[in-house]
Amino acid sequence: MELLSHAAVGAIASTAFYAKKSATRKEYIQIMLSGSIIGVSPDLTKYFGDLYGHSLIMLPLAGVIFGLPLKAWKWGFSFSYLWITSAVILLLSHLLLDYAHNGIALLYPFSQEEYKLDLIHRGDPFIWFTCILVLCFVLLFRLSKLSRLTIIFISTFVLFKLLCLQYTMTRIQDDSNIKQVLISPSYLNWNYSKETSYFTTIGTYNWFGLGQDTIIQRWFVNPNKELQLVLFETNYDGYDYVLTKENGCESNCSMLVYRKAKSRWVKIQNDAIEEVIEALYLQAKE
Ligand SMILES: [Zn+2]
């Protein structure tokens, strides 16, 4: 699906640049095929261990490598136009897409460091499905204008998703004791993991970052720095409580209750646990 996204965006971009009003259907197919090859090419060479195809620095050279054979199609464009546009096609259909999800060594060979945004899920169907649908119409009705509109549409989608990511980040970082936050996109959600001084949480927010997050799992780091699985949390009688069990324990696990007093968590002594648990459950039922 990832290759399909690169090929589909490449075909859309090349149609936007090269398909003239007078172009025949055969020329449309040539143009789409060329764009798809440009779009997938960095991953084909990467298969043999080459990282040059993913480098931003090599983009002008890549433009020459693709511009020369494109000139042979005789579409009536100057070499400089083909050079610049094929580099832009490569940038849009591959480098930017990779940057937006799996990360690339943009400055190779000067640096091996990978840069990434974690914005789009691998092979997001919104991108490849939209592009393939549009390509069918473009080919059927020879509508190159539609390709240009699709580039604007997908760019807007990516920018909007960037805003959603920023907003979701601010919602996750709602705690002053944040140590680390990781966020990654799935098809319809943002998956996150958040680490604070006392809690580690794994959860999801919806695409827009709106509404309540869904907590999948949460751990409490007790005062002895042991990891406990959180079963229940509440505020009772003006105090925060957390009910936990030993992390990884499956059966006959002992429950532990901690209370937050003056910003420190303190373990409730064994003889008071049952009473506190009962009170907490009763309070939760209300
Ligand atoms: Zn790639």
Cα 41 to ligand 1 centroid, rounded to whole Å: 8
Phi/psi-derived region of residue 49, left when phi > 0, alpha when psi is between -120 and 50, beta in every other case: left
Per 3-state DSSP, what percentage of the chain is helix, strand, and coil (rounded to 5)? Answer: 50, 20, 30
Same domain, 137 and 183: no
Cα 91 to ligand 1 centroid, rounded to whole Å: 11
* Structural domain that includes position 23: 2-166
Same domain, 25 and 113: yes
Cα 95 to ligand 1 centroid, rounded to whole Å: 7
Residue 286 has pLDDT above 70, yes or no: no
Same domain, 210 and 246: yes
Q: How confident is the model at residue 214 (pLDDT cuts 50, 70, 90)?
A: very high
Cα 96 to ligand 1 centroid, rounded to whole Å: 9
Residue 265 has pLDDT above 70, yes or no: yes
pLDDT tens figures, 189-211: 999 999 998 999 999 999 899 98
Same domain, 162 and 236: no
76 occurs within a structural domain: yes
Cα 156 to ligand 1 centroid, rounded to whole Å: 22
Cα 33 to ligand 1 centroid, rounded to whole Å: 18
Cα 94 to ligand 1 centroid, rounded to whole Å: 6
Report the share of the chain in percent with pLDDT over 70.
97
pLDDT tens figures, 38-89: 999 999 887 777 778 899 999 999 999 999 999 888 888 999 999 999 999 9
Q: How confident is the model at residue 219 (pLDDT cuts 50, 70, 90)?
A: very high
pLDDT tens figures, 88-123: 999 999 999 999 988 888 888 898 889 988 898 877
Cα 38 to ligand 1 centroid, rounded to whole Å: 11
Q: Which residue has the tokens 């006959």?
A: 252
Cα 103 to ligand 1 centroid, rounded to whole Å: 8
Cα 183 to ligand 1 centroid, rounded to whole Å: 21
What Cα–Cα distance (Å) separates residue 58 from each residue in 22, 37, 39, 182, 278? 34, 17, 15, 31, 66
Same domain, 222 and 262: yes
> 183: burial class by Cβ within 10 Å (0-12, 13-18, 19+)?
middle
Is 200:157 a contact under the CB 8 Å cutoff?
A: no
Same domain, 150 and 225: no
Cα 254 to ligand 1 centroid, rounded to whole Å: 49
Q: Which residue has the tokens 């990654």?
A: 184
Same domain, 133 and 271: no
The span from the CA of 52 to the CA of 47, in Å, is 12
Cα 225 to ligand 1 centroid, rounded to whole Å: 41
Same domain, 137 and 196: no
Cα 7 to ligand 1 centroid, rounded to whole Å: 11
Looking at 136, 166, 196, the residue that finishes a domain is 166
Is 131:215 a contact under the CB 8 Å cutoff?
A: no
Report the share of the chain in percent with pLDDT over 90.
52
Cα 101 to ligand 1 centroid, rounded to whole Å: 10
Same domain, 158 and 203: no
Same domain, 207 and 256: yes
Asked whether the whole model's pTM tops 0.75, one would answer yes
194 occurs within a structural domain: yes
Cα 129 to ligand 1 centroid, rounded to whole Å: 19
Same domain, 101 and 153: yes
Residue 36 has pLDDT above 80, yes or no: yes
Same domain, 73 and 19: yes
